[in-house]
Each structure stands twice: as structure tokens, then as C-alpha cells.
Amino acid sequence: MTNASEIKLPENIPEHVAIIMDGNGRWARSRGLPRMAGHRAGVDNLRRIIEAAAEYGIKYLTIYAFSTENWKRPPAEVKGLINILEDVIDRELKSLDENGVQLRHIGRLEQLRPELQAKVKQAIKITEENDRLILNVAWNYGGRDEIVCAIREMIADGIEPEEITESTVGRYLFTSESPDPDLIIRTSGEMRVSNFLIWQGAYSEWYVTKTYWPDFDPEELLEALNVYAQRERRYGRISGKALPR
Ligand code: IPE
Ligand code: IPE
Ligand code: MG
């Protein structure tokens, strides 16, 4: 691992970085390997990116691991991805915990086997006191599904229409405990949201790279942070550098 003291970090590190980890299949195909080899390489990469994110001072990292639409893939791939989720918890939980990573889940667990649901919940419980890095794992996550769930819950709780504000909605989303993402990274060059954080990303900065996820290394994460540091976030206002005379 790189030594943090040797790295020149920009001053305004984003508090919350979200990543659409895309391109595992193409990474594998370009090497003549089966798609699952790409997903496994993607997990290996995730390990080093989590460590780098913590070193760089990112407080919240949200990773898109399985979308509500990914159930449409061939059953063998879906099964493989579920197995990977289970393997990651079995193999990585100890070291994540030792490294101060707090695991959280966004999305719906209901479609998983009860034992696997319990395993995910237990991992969340074990790491709940950690605060070096909050890792939100988006698994069976879809932004539209999240908003539908929020509306249902607001109605079930008897919230009156006039009580519904943007902050009320925010409190009913899966991400209620995290700030909105400052920076969203998408690997593999696709220029679309793919149902990721569609509410929370309203004013996120984007960094899209052609690099396939398994090859997206800590140096490129640093590059994304440097690009982010140069952005001017205006939120609808006019530029601070171009105030009217
Ligand atoms: C991202 O890689 C991982 C998941 C969506 C689970 P892909 O599997 O989408 O890889 P490509 O886009 O086919 O290359
Ligand atoms: C988005 O990637 C989902 C994840 C990275 C988990 P996809 O590969 O599923 O997105 P599309 O289908 O290309 O939009
Ligand atoms: Mg893809």
C-alpha cells in the first residue's frame, strides 16, 4: 500500500464518494476469461480501493454492487454474484473491522436466502462502532425502488402531505444516515446513471473513466479526487469567479 504521507492530496477531499463499479464483464472478455473472473477481479480491486479511500480521508464510500435490474442477467451470473457477496463477508469482515470500516447496506435484502440476510445483518452489527470509513454497499439497490419504498413508508406512517419536504423524503431513503454523494465515479466509460442514487445525486459531481473497474487503481482514485478539487459546485448560483459588476 502507498504511504499516505508520500501522497499529495488536494485540500477539499469529498466527504462522500459513490462508485458505479462497471466493466467487469468487458475486462474478463478482453482477456478471454469468463465473466465471473471479471467479477472476482472486481472484488480484489474493491479491497484496495476501500483502503485507499480511507487513507485519502474519504469518510463515506458507497459502492454499487448489484442493481434491482441485475436480476435480469443469466441465472448462473446472478447466482455467482450472490456467492461473491457471501464470500466477501466471510473472508473480508475481520480485516474490514480491524481497519475501522463500518459496513452498511442500501437496497433490499428480502430477495436473499434468510441465512445470507442474517449474515449481512450480523456484519453490519459487528462493525457498527467503527468510524474510519462508512462503507455503504448497494446490493439489490435501485433508486426508483428506494423512492417507492420511501413513499410507501411515509404513507404507512401517516405523514400528512404538507409535512412532506425534501428533508422528510431524505429521511425515508435507504441513505438517511449518509450525506449526499459529493462525487460519483463510473468506470468503463458508460455515460448513464443506471438507477444509482437518483435522488441523492441531484448535485453530485461526476467522474467517468474508460478504465474497467478491476483496473481502477488508487492512483486513478487520486486523479478523480484531483479533478473533483478543480470543480466549482454552483448549485444553481452563478460563478463565484464571475460575480456581476
Ligand atoms: C459491473 O460489471 C458489475 C455488476 C453490474 C454486477 P458488469 O458485469 O456490468 O460488466 P460489463 O458492463 O458487462 O463489462
Ligand atoms: C450498473 O451497471 C450496476 C452496477 C454496477 C452494480 P450495469 O452494467 O448493470 O448497468 P447498465 O445495464 O449498463 O446500465
Ligand atoms: Mg455493466
- Specify the ligand 2 atom closest to the Cα of 21: 5
- The predicted-structure confidence for 68-104, as pLDDT tens digits, reads as follows 999 999 999 999 999 999 999 999 999 999 999 999 9
pLDDT recorded at residue 75:
98
Which residue did the predictor score with more confidence, 38 or 6?
38
| Beta bridge pairs of residue 138 | 64, 106
Instruction: Give the residues surrounding ligand 2 with Cβ less than 6 Å away.
Output: 20-22, 64-67, 70, 190, 192, 194
Average pLDDT, the chain: 96
pLDDT recorded at residue 245:
61
Q: Which residues surround ligand 3, an ion (CB under 5 A)?
A: 22
pLDDT recorded at residue 45:
98
- Specify the ligand 2 atom closest to the Cα of 69: 9
How many angstroms does the Cα of residue 109 sit away from the middle of ligand 3?
21
Please, are residues 197 and 170 in contact by the beta-carbon 8 Å criterion?
A: no
CATH value of 12-147+180-229 in 1.10.357.10, 3.40.1180.10, 3.40.50.720, 2.40.110.10: 3.40.1180.10
pLDDT recorded at residue 6:
78
With cut-offs at 50, 70 and 90, classify the pLDDT of residue 243: low
pLDDT recorded at residue 240:
80
- Does position 136 have pLDDT exceeding 80, yes or no? yes
pLDDT recorded at residue 241:
75
Q: Give percent of the chain above pLDDT 90.
A: 95
- The predicted-structure confidence for 175-225, as pLDDT tens digits, reads as follows 999 999 999 999 999 999 999 999 999 999 999 999 999 999 999 999 999
- The predicted-structure confidence for 107-133, as pLDDT tens digits, reads as follows 999 999 999 999 999 999 999 999 999
Ligand 1, atom 13: closest residue by C-alpha = 25
With cut-offs at 50, 70 and 90, classify the pLDDT of residue 34: very high
- Does position 2 have pLDDT exceeding 70, yes or no? no
How many angstroms does the Cα of residue 23 sit away from the middle of ligand 3?
5
How many angstroms does the Cα of residue 236 sit away from the middle of ligand 2?
29
How many angstroms does the Cα of residue 7 sit away from the middle of ligand 3?
31
Catalytic residues: 22, 70
